[in-house]
Every structure is written in C-alpha cells, then in structure tokens.
Amino acid sequence: MPELPEVETIRLGLQKYLVGHTIEEIEILLPKMVVGEVQRVTGTKVKRIQRYGKGLVIELDNNYSIAIHIKMTGQFIYKGTRVPKGTKVSEKVGRELPNSATHVIFHLDKGAILYYNDIRQFGWIKIVKTADVFGLPFFKELGPELFPSSGQEPLTQEQFQGILKASKGPIKPLLMDQKKIGGIGNIYANDALYVAKIDPKRKAHLLSEQESEALFEALKQVLTKGLEVGGASEWQYVNALGVAGNYQNFFQVYGKQGKKCPRCGEAIKKIVMAGRGTFYCPGCQK
C-alpha cells in the first residue's frame, strides 16, 4: 500500500499540475468509488492539494473538497499539454487510458484529464464540505506523522517515545497503526527496524530510550530516502504523471527473504505479523 513518501509524491504532482484547473465534469464509471454530490464540485476550481498521512484532499474554491484514500492500488494520472515531453508512463498504468482499471475521469478545462485507476477497487473518493473533512473517520482518527505537509505539527521524539511506552504489543504493528502514527506502512516499518537493529517482534514498551531514539531516526532516514526517489513501485504505485518510483531499488530488508544481510551475512527471514509480511535479520536485529 502506498505510504507517506508515495502519497506525498502524488500530492506534489497534483499540486503542480492540477491546481488552477476547473473541473468541468466528473465521469463515474464505477459508482461505488465516489460518495457525495458530484454537482457540488462541477464547475469549481482546484485551490490546493493537501495530504494527511496516507490521505489526500483536493480543496476547491467553493468550500468543498474531494477527500481521497487510494488504498493499495489507486492511481491518479494527469494528462494535459503541460506534461513534459518524453514522460515515460509506467506499464503499471496500462497501455491506454481509460482502461479496465479506470473508474473515475475528471474532465478539466484546457483539454486536460485526471484519471483515477484502481485495480483492486479498495480506494475511496468522498465529496464533502471542506470544514467536514476532519469529521471523516480516517482523518479524524489519524495520528501525528514525522513529515507533515499540510500544516500539522510533526511527531516529536518525546511523543514517539510516549506512544511506544503506552503500547504492550510488538513494535512493528504499532508503527503501522495509523491511529498512533500517520503515514508509515509495511515497507518503511520493515526497513526502519532493520536500520535501527530492532527485532520487529520486540514489545514496544520495553524498548530502551536509546533504542527509541535510534528507531525514530531510522524512520526519518528511510522516509527521507523514499521521498528523494519518488516512492516505491512494488505494487501499482505511480506518481501523478504515471511514472514509477525507485525506492524498491533501495529496500533494506523488505521483500528480501533468503538473501544475505549485508551487515552480518545471515539470511533475511520472513514471518507474518498482524497479517502482513515482516522481513528482518535474526542475526543483527535484537
């Protein structure tokens, strides 16, 4: 599932290409994908794009917004004259648009189009008053994040340590709990724990202050790298122009079961925790 670096990369692309456009029509090919009154946003101009954790909010000039969660396989692909020549659209998008994965088409002024694709159909798009965005359960319950981009206060080391101390469960699922910490998912949780040399099965409240600090810095490190290289395109993720990211080329342990740990040489192991594949080195993650 796209995490903070991937969703932030999409936000930056939509901020660059979508802002200023007028939504002339929304063509809904899969009715369950959109909740709300489409007429409320028809004819409105896009003001800004906000991100909260893994959620996106397209703010419009009439005090309405389009709140979005792309979940596992959602894609936004912008097409228009402003797209740089030579932009290489990933095969993850498909050869042509629209295609069988296209469920919503935003027809914009100046002949531009924004496609929403979602093979697994887990994502959602909700049209709400801007003032009501934080009444939606996902946004209302979202925890603080390390790299906020829409005016929130960033998660501090002290807050992070408090979250860990309050949890009796294992550290890895805690890092992925969006109600505790926003934006972190399976990829970056696995890699950060490896960087910090912490076993994902360790009880969160038993981590020492030194280990908590090391993990906090490791999370910042892997998220920063993810942002630098445009996210990870392990599944269907692409940026707002349909271009794949590159963090998959920098995975620390994620997806590398059976390969040798570059630090100690022991084989990287895969287990399942809270229903998710968990990768770690039993030799140097203690």
Number of H helices, E strands in the chain: 6, 11
Tell me the mean pLDDT in the region 133-137.
98
Q: How far apart are the first and last CA of the chain?
A: 27
Contact 116, 76 (CB under 8 A): yes
pLDDT at 199: 98
In 3D space, the residue among 207, 190, 202 whose CA is nearest the CA of residue 268 turns out to be 190
Q: Kindly name the residue from 54, 92, 180, 256 that is annotated as catalytic.
A: 54
pLDDT at 1: 75
Mean of per-residue pLDDT scores for the chain: 97
Tell me the mean pLDDT in the region 210-223.
98
Tell me the mean pLDDT in the region 256-284.
97
pLDDT at 235: 86
User: Percent of the chain having pLDDT more than 70?
Assistant: 100
Where does the pLDDT of residue 234 fall: very low under 50, low under 70, confident under 90, or very high at 90 and above?
Answer: confident
Contact 81, 246 (CB under 8 A): no
pLDDT at 95: 80
Contact 202, 285 (CB under 8 A): no
pLDDT at 153: 96
SS (H, E, C) 3-37: CHHHHHHHHHHHHHHCCCCEEEEEEECCHHHEECC
pLDDT at 272: 97
Tell me the mean pLDDT in the region 189-209.
98
What architecture does CATH give domain 157-280? Orthogonal Bundle (1.10)
Q: pLDDT (tens digit, 9 = 90+) per residue, 85-109? A: 999 999 999 889 999 999 999 999 9
- Buried-exposed string 141-177: b where 16+ CB fall within 10 A, e elsewhere: ebbbbbbbbeebeebeeeebbebbeebeebbbbbbbe
Three-point CA angle 224, 260, 183, nearest 5°: 25
pLDDT at 210: 98
**Max Cα–Cα distance, the chain, nearest Å:** 60
Q: pLDDT (tens digit, 9 = 90+) per residue, 14-48? A: 999 999 999 999 999 999 999 999 999 999 999 99
Instruction: Report the alpha-carbon distance of residue 71 to residue 178 in Å, rounded.
Output: 13
Where does the pLDDT of residue 139 fall: very low under 50, low under 70, confident under 90, or very high at 90 and above?
Answer: very high
What architecture does CATH give domain 4-140? Alpha-Beta Barrel (3.20)
Q: Kindly name the residue from 2, 144, 173, 200 that is annotated as catalytic.
A: 2
Instruction: Report the alpha-carbon distance of residue 29 to residue 121 in Å, rounded.
Output: 12
Q: pLDDT (tens digit, 9 = 90+) per residue, 148-160? A: 999 999 999 999 9
pLDDT at 167: 97
Tell me if residue 200 is catalytic. no
Residue 270 pLDDT more than 90? yes
pLDDT at 15: 98
CA distances from 91 to 159, 160, 231, 243, 244 (A): 41, 39, 16, 9, 9
The domain locations on the chain are 4-140, 157-280
Where does the pLDDT of residue 138 fall: very low under 50, low under 70, confident under 90, or very high at 90 and above?
Answer: very high
**3-class state of residue 167 by DSSP:** coil
In 3D space, the residue among 142, 147, 224, 215 whose CA is nearest the CA of residue 182 turns out to be 142
Tell me if residue 263 is catalytic. no
In 3D space, the residue among 123, 143, 110, 40 whose CA is nearest the CA of residue 75 turns out to be 123
Tell me if residue 276 is catalytic. yes
pLDDT at 124: 98
Q: Kindly name the residue from 47, 225, 269, 276 that is annotated as catalytic.
A: 276
